[in-house]
């Protein structure tokens, strides 16, 4: 007879509902030999699956979700982006090994400070079905939060610059029991974009009250 895995998880693999007891150390009573006194305790039911799902399951992306760009959102022309980056095309190994993000998918990125003083960036390959991407940046700590907030550059299939975007922060969210404070923003993906390149900013017009860093944590969410 087969039993659904969801039922087993809910019952914590205790179908008969019998009480469970465990032997646990109560404390050291012989410091020389390390002997311990043991006690028998009854096992209590753990955190339910519904609670874990509520805390960690990603929110479903609605087909009719209204996407609003920040009032400070601005596009960076191809010429300005190339001048800012110092190059028009990228053949770096990061491009060849870039993570691919498909529609309705999330990707986590943990940028780290480069070992050498050189131009550093993160890159993700995008499905051609993606029209908007939400960027969440999480604070590195609670007391003195810093954020990795990027300049975004869109690259074509050859790794060459199409244009860029900035000023896309929509709002911020206070810390919760599962994450530190975060910044949120949405970018519009231009036609023919295959790669999303991000390089850290020292300051940005949409984050005047925050300390920016070249390391942190990002979550990219493909909206549609």
Phi, psi values for residue 121, rounded to 5°: -155, 165
What pLDDT is recorded for position 21? 62
Measured distance CA(198)–CA(149) in Å, rounded: 9
> What's this model's pTM, rounded to 2 decimal places?
0.71
| Span 192-224, pLDDT tens digits | 999 999 999 999 989 988 999 999 999 999 987
Give the CA distances from residue 158 to residues 77, 167, 192, 208, in Å, rounded to whole numbers and listed in that order: 18, 26, 11, 35
| Span 38-76, pLDDT tens digits | 666 666 555 555 555 555 555 555 556 688 899 999 999
What pLDDT is recorded for position 49? 54
List alpha helices for 93-144, DSSP H.
Answer: 93-96
Residue from 147, 104, 151, 109 nearest 126 by CA: 104
Higher pLDDT: 154 or 1? It is 154
| Span 85-144, pLDDT tens digits | 999 999 888 898 999 999 989 999 999 887 776 778 999 999 999 999 999 999 988 888
- Classify domain 74-223 by CATH number: 2.60.120
| Span 130-189, pLDDT tens digits | 999 999 999 988 888 899 999 999 999 999 999 999 999 998 888 777 678 899 999 999
What are the domain boundaries of the chain? 74-223
């Amino acid at each position: 007879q087969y039993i659904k895995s969801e039922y087993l998880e809910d019952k914590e693999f205790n179908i008969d509902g019998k009480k469970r007891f465990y032997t646990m150390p109560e404390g050291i009573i012989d410091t020389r030999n390390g002997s311990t006194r043991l006690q028998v305790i009854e096992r209590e039911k753990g955190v339910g699956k519904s609670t874990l799902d509520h805390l960690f399951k990603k929110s479903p992306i609605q087909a009719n979700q209204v996407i609003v760009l920040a009032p400070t959102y601005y596009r960076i022309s191809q010429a300005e982006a190339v001048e800012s980056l110092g190059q028009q095309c990228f053949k770096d190994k990061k491009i060849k090994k870039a993570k691919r993000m498909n529609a309705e998918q999330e990707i986590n990125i943990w940028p780290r400070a480069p070992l050498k003083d050189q131009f550093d960036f993160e890159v993700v390959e995008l499905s051609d079905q993606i029209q908007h991407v939400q960027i969440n940046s999480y604070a590195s700590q609670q007391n003195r939060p810093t954020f990795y907030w990027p300049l975004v550059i869109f690259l074509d299939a050859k790794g060459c610059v199409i244009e860029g975007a900035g000023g896309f922060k929509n709002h911020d969210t206070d810390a919760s029991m599962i994450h530190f404070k975060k910044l949120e923003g949405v970018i519009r993906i231009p036609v023919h974009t295959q790669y999303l390149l991000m390089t850290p900013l020292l300051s940005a017009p949409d984050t005047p009250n925050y300390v920016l860093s070249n390391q942190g944590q990002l979550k990219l969410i493909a909206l549609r």
